[in-house]
A and B are shown apart, each in its own frame.
Chain A
């Protein structure tokens, strides 16, 4: 898991997103950590489970709410070399969503695969 490189320690960081956006601030502030954390050149993965999958849904329009729509920010993740984005298959299905309904390309994974991904991490951040 943990590796030593010339640049120092590289750890496997997993951000677990299980909350819907807007109802609470957790989703937005989690994304802020991911973006800041990208500068540290760690091995970063994002997992979306449960209501967390709603963060990635297309068509979010927050104009009337007078808050920032942060869903387009997910598209910037690739520029930060954050490309391991896993979405729980059952969570998507249960919420009537398909991969095509999401704002970025993701890897849709089974519960078993997601459990493996979690098990292989050094640091798990959940908000």
Chain B
């Protein structure tokens, strides 16, 4: 399953909740304010790195760039454009948006 998270992890529990439910082998795509979770050296980066052992994590590049985060994305998080977003949706059986 593909999960999308569009909230900043610093003021919302959406990412934490998503990671609680995301099962081994599923994919998480960070979009909109969700991309702040992709940055290294933050209060949540350890939690994200831990999650990377179980799930694949992607971040939407246009959102990363818009927020000036392009040089701060942690290793292991893959950047995708909108076409990559479409591919991820097509590749997974269902999408859960953690609004």
Contacts and interface: CB of A to CB of B under 8 A. Distances in A.
A1 interface: yes
A49 B17 contact: yes
Contact of A124 (B13, B20, B23, B94): B94
A31 B26 CA distance: 28
A104 B96 CA distance: 25
A109 to B, nearest CB: 11
Interface majority SS on A: helix, strand, loop or mixed? mixed
A127 to B, nearest CB: 7
Given A111-B21, A118-B1, A126 B96 contact: yes
Of the four ranges (under 10, 10 to 19, 20 to 34, 35 or more), the interface on chain A belongs to 10 to 19
Interface in B6-53: 13, 17, 20-23, 26
Contacts of A116: 23
A119 B23 CA distance: 8
Interface of A: 1, 16, 18, 49-50, 111, 114-116, 118-119, 121-124, 126-127
Interface of B: 1, 13, 17, 20-23, 26, 93-99
Given A115-B20, A119-B23, A126-B97, 10 more contacts: A50-B17, A114-B21, A115-B21, A115-B23, A121-B94, A124-B95, A126-B96, A126-B98, A126-B99, A127-B99
